[in-house]
Structure 1
Amino acid sequence: MASSSSPINSIVNLFHFHKVDRNVYDQLLGHGTEPSVARNVVALLIWLDTIGLDVLSYLNDHASNSYAFLRLVAEADAVLDCLRRDAPPRDSALAIPVLASLSDQPIDLGFFYFNRHVATKRIAGVLSGAGRVFFDDALYASFLRYEEAAADAWKRNAAPPPLPEELARTYELGATAATSSEDQRSLFLTFSKGFPLTKEEIEAYFREKWGDCVEKVAVQKPAAGSVVGPLYGRVVFTRDGYAGLVLNDTKVYKFAINGKQVWARQRRWNRRTRCARSILRTIALAGEDEAGGEELAGRGILETNLTAVAAGDGPEAPDQKQRVFERLLLLRLRRRRRRFNPFTTSFLF
């Protein structure tokens, strides 16, 4: 029961509106589904609900029936897999019988493939918008505590408890998606050696698959005189939900663009990498191009920049130079120990 003084677009009312969605999400987790997959499934079901398939109520009503619940979840996962495919599915008429039974019109996987631009846009919108609120475990725990206290006060005919500050905040539609960082909306792409890809090829692939979903693309800028083309790149989506749809429950997703193999993953910056990035943003760096550094710089450029600063081209702060020397030494030791690996490279943008 929401407080009468809370605005209609408050966080607490958002939880009330999506209470069934959150219950289904918790049930998915209880059945062993990975959180990333569970979020994608619930976002898909919310979109299906808007086009006339009352799947959320069906799941909520059949929560105690494990077979019916897991059957519909498996069909939702099949739809998500269909949205990621590069070709129409075959023999899709009997692949989603439960979903088909909830529709007034004939529906199969081909329907979702044909409408994949609309579907992925709506799913990514949920994941990047309201979903970032009602999927938040800390906020949901606060909501449950408030609901329990409010129900207890109502039974005792007492005044309702004050609404917690985090639940009283207003939710602006689209504001959550707009504040997501570029790292959250990005995927790092690795190419097969000898089969490089251009920015135009990568952008065209995702736009053909999911519509206007790409903000920008960058690829490695090979060293001067190098005969090897780009080995890696980065795609930045308009919403972080698109990155989640690509990976789903995998850490590395393999696919092909124009017959060339690509491996996609989302970079998780560790403490050491964040420290290096902070230093490099503070110090005046060489190596960025005139476009503002959109091209990727690899380990070689990173070491060149650090060497220049350590030689005295940068600020004179002794502690800053010491950090630069330590980072430079670490890079050289790691280079001696192992070969270059694009997955462990500290990229600069």
Structure 2
Amino acid sequence: MDPPLSSTVPQEDFLMFHQMDRDLYKILVTNLSRDPSESMRLLAMWLWLEKVGFPNVVKNIMSLPIILINEIVDESMICLSCLTNNNNASVIAMSSYEANDIPLLQSLMEKEISLKFFLQNRVEAIRGVEKTRREDCMSALGDIMQQAMMRNIADRMVENNSFLFGSTGPMNLQFGSVGIAGAMVQQQSNNNGGRGGIIPADDRTLFVTFSKGYRVEEWEVKEFFSMAYGDCIETLFMQETQANEQPLFARIVFHKVSTIDMILRGASKVKFSINGKHVWVRKFVPKRANTGRIMIPGETYGFDFGATR
């Protein structure tokens, strides 16, 4: 058995070889505020996929805008759950899934991949992902992981101190009949700017993804939902692309939250067919960076997505 690369080449060269993996890991734990340990397992799974015949997984993920990287992470977590879930009923249910249940991940691959692939290769995948995590990721990403974990601890300490001391000094813990819970609600109300009953746009927004290779136009999306639910759309934001490029996602802000409830019907993700083209919709959940700044489509993030391994 060949020794791991990390033990046969200088550390500087090893880190340079994994520079793109390190850049993607930084996006996960910093810009998307993902759990450092969980993110390392994801990198290990993506690298394992490259080893077993799915080339350029990391490179293709890095070519996406950050909001779609977040979607890829969500889909990849479902794949990991196929490997780690020992519940027989859950495994049987997952075995009936098709490739289009992980549409974005499938769109990055040069050959078909599905949740069934992970189930059929479960033993090999578990061993391969763990071996990659231990031999490659720990050496290539360990320093970033440690920094992210320390930063998370510091952020939690700051948050705790912010509650106890506020912005103008120590809070008076003698709340009388209101109690601590009431004070927290009041503090949250103050932080929200006293918006009262106004429902923020993010809470009335669906995130929509499209299949690569099947272009969906803005008018098609508007027409589909308007025909089904009436005059329901306040604003629709399609991904900004070049003239010859296909939008891969959109955000739809509805007038009412109840419209979203009717569309999802209690499910976390729903698939529709718009003029024969599959689209997936789910509730929009903005991701916050450690600075508290919301990550939204159309914002410049300062990463070079054209890097090569």
Higher relative contact order (CA 8 A, sep 6+): 2
Give TM-score, length-normalised by structure 1. 0.35
For the pair shown, the structure with the greater C-alpha radius of gyration is 1
